[in-house]
A and B are shown apart, each in its own frame.
Chain A
Amino acid sequence: DTGVSQNPRHKITKRGQNVTFRCDPISEHNRLYWYRQTLGQGPEFLTYFQNEAQLEKSRLLSDRFSAERPKGSFSTLEIQRTEQGDSAMYLCASSLLGSYEQYFGPGTRLTVT
């Protein structure tokens, strides 16, 4: 499968714990995006990378959230001190340089208890 992959697919954690998600984009895609989606809503933009550079961050990305893409390939999204309001689907997408088409992975569903 050469699409975007995300791990884990599901994560249940207790409030206050830290969690980390991984995204592997389509191999030749330079841009990588993170979105968050809550039930019944469309995805909301969090941040995006061009190669290893993080170029934009949403105001939704509080200081408890951090994203990295150290070698310009896979990316990680970490949430520290999770809160119940962090429960959502976290989606990763990637695109080619020069293209606006974003291709999404299956998402990581986070449940904070």
Chain B
Amino acid sequence: GESVGLHLPTLSVQEGDNSIINCAYSNSASDYFIWYKQESGKGPQFIIDIRSNMDKRQGQRVTVLLNKTVKHLSLQIAATQPGDSAVYFCAEKGGPSRSGGSNYKLTFGKGTLLTVNP
């Protein structure tokens, strides 16, 4: 069935280091992926997204890589800062439904807790 999972539940890095958060997905029909950051007591905050016709997308200090061959997604954060400490979720949007209509719901993984040490 459809699932999105993360390789590592926790990641601890030193301030200034680069962070890499990994995510595996199983639905080969998924055509859109998105990374969210969630701080304690807050809703998920959009970071970056990527469509399945791309393998890399860059934002400000963040890069998402998509490897469709092995169904793997990663989020790279450059020069990690204490303010980056949070839980990071990857989410996937499935492809068209069986009826042919668009499928807009997101399926989330469990999340990775990133801790940045000063």
Q: Hey, which bits of chain A sit against chain B, CB under 8 A?
A: 4, 31, 33, 40-45, 48, 56, 58, 91, 93, 95, 100-107
Q: Which residues of B contact A (CB under 8 A)?
A: 4, 32, 34, 36, 41-46, 49, 89, 91, 93, 104-111
A46 CA / B18 CA spacing, docked (Å): 35
Chain B residues closer than 8 Å to A93, beta-carbon distance:
43
For the A-B complex, the count of residue pairs with Cβ-Cβ distances under 8 Å equals: 56
Knowing A42-B91, A100-B49, the reply to whether A91 touches B44 (Cβ < 8 A) is yes
Tell me if A42 and B42 are in contact (CB < 8 A).
no
Which of B42, B44, B104 makes the CB contact (< 8 A) with A43? B44
In the complex, which residues of chain B have a beta carbon less than 8 angstroms from the beta carbon of A106?
Answer: 41-43
A56→B104 CA distance, assembly (Å) = 9
B contact residues around A95 at 8 Å (CB)? 104
State the Cβ distance, B46 to closest chain A Cβ, in Å.
6
- A103–B104 CB distance below 8 A: no
Residue on A nearest B43 in the bound complex, by CB = A104
Is B104 a contact of A48 with CB atoms below 8 Å?
Answer: yes
Q: Which of B41, B42, B108 is within 8 Å of A44, CB to CB? A: B108
Given contacts A45-B106, A91-B43, A101-B46, 17 further A-B contacts (CB under 8 A): A4-B43, A31-B104, A33-B105, A40-B111, A41-B110, A41-B111, A42-B109, A43-B108, A45-B107, A58-B105, A100-B93, A102-B34, A102-B46, A105-B43, A106-B41, A106-B42, A106-B43
Cα distance A42–B9 in the bound complex, in angstroms = 12
Complex Cα gap A45–B104 (Å): 10
